Amino acid sequence: MVHSVAVGSAAVAGLAAAVAVTRWAPVWWRLYRREAANQEALAAAKQRLGEEASRVFPYTAAELQQALQSQGYFLDALTTKKLWSYLRQGKPVGLRGEPGIGKSQLAEAFARAFGYPLIDMECHSHLEAEEIGISWNGFKQIVDAQAYPRSGGQPPNLYTLEYLNRTPLLESVLAEQPTVVRVDEVDKLNEHTTNFFLRYLDKQELVVHNLDQPGQSKVLKARAPLYIFLTSNEYKRLDTAFMRRTVWLDLQFPSEATLARIIQRSVGVP
C-alpha cells in the first residue's frame, strides 16, 4: 500500500513537472530567440565597425610601423599599435613629449609614407578661428557684386563655397582624398580658437551659417578620411572638452638600439 502511494506520488510529481515545462516552454523559447537575435545583432555591429575601420585606415599595425620606418621614423611596437588603433577609429591623435622628441615629424613621416597631402597649422596665442576655419573673401564678393551690372548678367550669389577663403580646416574637409592635418603646439591657442576646434575634432565638420548654395548643406562634412595630429609641449593646460575629443600618445626618447638604427639610416651606414 505504501509502495503504491509512493509510485502515485512520483507520477503526480512527474506530471506536474511536465506541465510546468509545457507552461514555461514558450517563455524559454522567446528568451532563446531574443538572445540569438542579440548575438546576431552584436556580430553584425562588430562587422560594420571593422569594415568602417578598414575604410578609414586600410593597413595593419605592422604595415604602419614599416611605412614609418621607411621614412626614418621609428616607433616601438606598443606605441605603433596604439597609433594604429586610434587611426582606425578616426580619432584626432594628440602627441606629447619633450621638445625635440619628434612630435611634429610623426605627421610628416606618416604623410610621406602613405602619399597623403599634409595640411600644416602653426599655432600661437593670436591665431583667430577665422584664419583657420570659416571666413568670407570680402574682396572677391565686392568685385563680383560691382561687375555684374556692367556685364548685364544676373546678380551673383555671394554666399557660396566659391567665396569662402581656403583656410586649412576648410581645405581639409573639402579634400577628395585622405589628408593629414598637423596642428602644431595646440596648447598655445587662445580660448576662442580652442573652442572653435571642438566640433571639427569631434565630427570632422565645419558649419557655414551664411552659406546659401542650392543643394549644399550648411554643414561641411569631411569628404575623405582625415588623420589629425596635434602636438603639445604642455605650455598650458588644455580645456577638458578639448582633451575628451583627443586621444593622446606620450612619446619617449628612443632606446639605444633604436637610436643606433636611426643614426645608421641618417648617415647611410648599412
Secondary structure class of 97 (helix, strand, coil) = coil
Q: 261 in helix, strand or coil?
A: helix
Most confident of 18-22, 164-168, 251-255, 266-270: 164-168
Please state whether beta strands 219-221 and 205-207 pair in parallel, antiparallel, or not at all (unpaired): antiparallel
- What residue segments make up the domains of the chain, in order of their start? 1-56, 59-267
Worst-scoring range by mean pLDDT, 7-16, 85-94, 211-220? 7-16
Burial category of 45 from C-beta neighbours within 10 Å (exposed 0-12, middle 13-18, buried 19 and up): exposed
Which grid cell sits at 90?
578616426
As given in the structure block, the three cell numbers for residue 229 are 595630429
What is residue 155's predicted lDDT score, i.e. its pLDDT? 80
For residue 110 the three cell numbers come to 606618416
Q: In CATH, what class is 59-267?
A: alpha beta
Pick the most confident of 145-159, 210-224, 246-260. Answer: 210-224
**pLDDT band for position 5 (cuts 50, 70, 90):** very low
Q: What is the pLDDT of residue 12?
A: 52
**Calpha distance 8→250 (Å, rounded):** 76
Please state, in angstroms and as integers, the Cα–Cα distance from residue 2 to each residue in 8, 9, 13, 159, following that order: 10, 11, 16, 99
Report CA Rg, the chain: 30
